[in-house]
Each structure stands twice: as C-alpha cells, then as structure tokens.
C-alpha cells in the first residue's frame, strides 16, 4: 500500500507486519477463517498491528480482502476491543 503522510517514516512496512504475524500464529493471512471465534480474534489482532505498527487508516484497511466483508465503522469498534483485550494480557 502506498503511504502519503510525513510520519510514515516511523511505521513498519506492511509486508514485515504480515510476515511476523504469519510466523507468530503459524497461519497464512488468507487462510484465516473469520466465521470462527479464533479467526475473528486473529483478524482483530492483525487490524491492531496494521493500524498501530503499519500506520494504515481504516479506509486503507477495509480494502484488504480479510476486512472486505466489514463496514468501515465496525473497524473502529474491533480495534478498540482488541486493544483492550491485548492490554489485559
């Protein structure tokens, strides 16, 4: 994805985020089954990483196939729930 903001220098490349995510969970992003509870949790964690580490906006994230079936305003709620859950670990 192409970035246009000045602080993009401080964000990690999207490819690196994908690679580390797939290695950590031993699953390919395209194989995440979002009809299961564990698949939805994984999607939330990927969203969190893309937003915080990659600096992507919700409009950029919604274009990714894994998030294509979601509404734009739902991404914010998923992000907040995931952030809260991860902060409790």
The DSSP-derived string for the chain is -----GGGGGSPPHHHHHHHHHHHHTS-GGG--TTSHHHHHHHHHHHHHHHHTT---HHHHTTSGGGTTS-HHHHHHHHHHHHHHHHT-
Cβ-count burial of 70 within 10 angstroms (0-12 exposed, 13-18 middle, 19+ buried)?
middle
pLDDT of residue 53: 93
Assess if residue 52 is contained within a domain.
yes
**For every one of its 89 residues, what pLDDT tens digit does the chain have, with 9 covering 90 and above?**
455 555 556 788 899 999 999 999 999 999 999 999 999 999 999 999 999 999 999 999 999 999 999 999 999 999 999 999 999 97
Predicted TM-score (pTM) of the model is 0.87
Q: Tell me how many domains the chain contains.
A: 1
pLDDT of residue 52: 93
pLDDT of residue 25: 96
Q: Which domain holds residue 18?
A: 12-87
Assess if residue 6 is contained within a domain.
no
């Amino acid at each position: 994805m192409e970035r246009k903001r000045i602080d993009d220098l401080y964000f990690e490349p999207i490819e690196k985020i994908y690679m580390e995510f797939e290695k950590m969970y031993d699953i390919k992003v395209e194989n995440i089954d979002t009809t299961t509870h564990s698949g939805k949790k994984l999607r939330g964690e990927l969203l969190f990483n893309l937003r915080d580490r990659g600096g992507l906006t919700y409009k950029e994230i919604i274009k990714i196939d894994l998030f294509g079936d979601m509404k734009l305003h739902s991404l914010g709620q998923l992000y907040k729930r995931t952030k809260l859950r991860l902060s409790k670990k």
